[in-house]
Amino acid sequence: MAKRVAIIGTGQTHHRSHRLDVNGREMIYEAVNRALDDSGLTIADIDAIVIGNMDHFESINYVDAWSVEGSGGVMKPIMKVTTGGTTGTSVAIAAYYHVASGMFDKVLAIGWEKNSESDTTGAIVTCSDPVWDRYSYSGAIPSLATEASAYMEKYGATPEDAAYVALRERTHAQNNPYAHMYGRPITLQDVMDSPMLAYPIRLLDICPRTDGAAAVIFASEDVAEKLTPQPAWIQAASVRHTFTWFGDVDQRSGLQSLQRASQEAYRIAGIKNPVDDFDVAELYLPYSYAGLKWIEALGFCEPGEGPQFIRDGHTNMGGKIPVNPSGGVMSTNCIGATALLRVAEAAIQVMGKGEARQVPDVNRALATGFGGCWWSDVMILGKEKP
């Protein structure tokens, strides 16, 4: 019988550019232990595990089997998921359906990446088809720069508009001791003066490469309220993997996958006005210009109004809809865990465990994932059981 599902615990490592003190399995173990401690469970209580990372980055096959000493997956059902940058939300949604199916009561979702031990750029540059796609996709930064340029041309946005997004993300990160960029505050001028990578993207407009892991425990309605005083209930989940080829992406049309996924999730959860109906949003924004245009796809504002919406402070802490109190992807990017961190941080806000990064009185939170050929995942979490 189908079950309603809630998140009852989260855990994450302290994220850094190089975690030389641990190997991959030990890093996973840190996040898993913290999630178990947060939920008051032991690994013996977990019925199944879903794990994901970008396996071709570290060149490790069968990560589900390789990682069992860290994940605790010995003699447990395990599913391995990889969908590009959306891996973390794909892991979360797969774990959600594991429980919702009625087959399991408590499922552990894990995302991780050790970018310091991988050739991330080499893997991304060569992932596209050499005949059909290489001309349009020669790596993440040039491709994102093309998207940013198209938005600037269409709506008249400026690099300074984007710099406000970068400033917000790094400012919020100062409240999150787990963030890669914690303890590194910046100014608007720092962003504008940082080195140019591919016009119009500068160094401080883009996310870092991070070593880290995250773990989230999903539980059925039969046990969730017994295990935590305030579960974060999954109210909706939606996926749109809309393109197969990078060359099919229309850079001028906005993020269609995010628009379509959010519309379906809003319909399921009864969202009429996202700015009023959500108290906080943890969005997968890998670079600053995404922070301008993707809030338009989510319906926070009309097309072309993103820059002014950001400048007016509506997405800052204390604004209409605080975005990324954790510091977001631009402050921490352990790729296989990045989107799972969005779900974890949204759950933390609903459960009231955000400490210095907590938004007051959160009833409902939005989390998104992004990756692949401009794919998007959306999850809605709330205090109320759906």
52-99: pLDDT as tens digits: 999 888 888 899 999 999 999 999 999 999 998 999 999 999 999 999
The pLDDT, as a whole number, for residue 103 is 97
Cα atoms in the Cβ-side hemisphere of radius 13 Å centred on 117 = 18
Rg of the Cα atoms in the chain: 19
Residue 159 structural domain: 129-207+248-264+271-330+342-382
**Whether 84 contacts 375, CB under 8 Å:** yes
The pLDDT, as a whole number, for residue 138 is 59
CA distance 374 to 372: 5
- Whether 21 maps to a domain, the answer reads yes
Q: Same domain for 90 and 25? A: yes
CA distance 344 to 236: 15
Structure tokens given for 45: 């209580």
Q: Same domain for 177 and 296? A: yes
219-232: pLDDT as tens digits: 999 999 999 999 99
Instruction: Name the more confident of 338 and 254.
Output: 338
Domains: count for the chain: 2
Q: Same domain for 100 and 134? A: no
**Whether 276 contacts 301, CB under 8 Å:** no
Q: Same domain for 49 and 167? A: no
Percentage of the chain beyond pLDDT 90 is 85
Model's pTM, two decimal places? 0.96
Instruction: Name the more confident of 252 and 99.
Output: 99
- Whether 242 maps to a domain, the answer reads no
Nearest CA to 48 out of 8, 120, 3, 99 is that of 99
**Whether 248 contacts 332, CB under 8 Å:** no
162-179: pLDDT as tens digits: 999 999 999 999 999 999
The number of residues in the chain equals 386
Structure tokens given for 283: 């969005």
CA 97 from centroid of its chain's CA atoms = 18
Structure tokens given for 24: 């991959």
The pLDDT, as a whole number, for residue 190 is 98
CA distance 243 to 88: 19
Q: Same domain for 295 and 197? A: yes
| 312 CB neighbour count, 10 Å cutoff | 14
DSSP 152-166: HHHH---HHHHHHHH
Give me the amino acid identity at 293: K
Q: Same domain for 141 and 217? A: no
- Whether 364 maps to a domain, the answer reads yes
The single residue listed with the structure tokens 């008249």 is 156
CA distance 166 to 188: 8
181-195: pLDDT as tens digits: 999 999 999 999 999
| 180 CB neighbour count, 10 Å cutoff | 24
CATH number at residue 356: 3.40.47.10
The pLDDT, as a whole number, for residue 139 is 63
Parallel, antiparallel, or unpaired: how do β-strands 232-240 and 211-220 relate?
A: unpaired
Cα atoms in the Cβ-side hemisphere of radius 13 Å centred on 310 = 27
DSSP state of 299: T
Q: Same domain for 318 and 375? A: yes
Res 243 pLDDT > 80: no
Q: Same domain for 175 and 255? A: yes
Bridge partners of 138, per DSSP, are: none
Q: What is the mean pLDDT of the chain?
A: 94
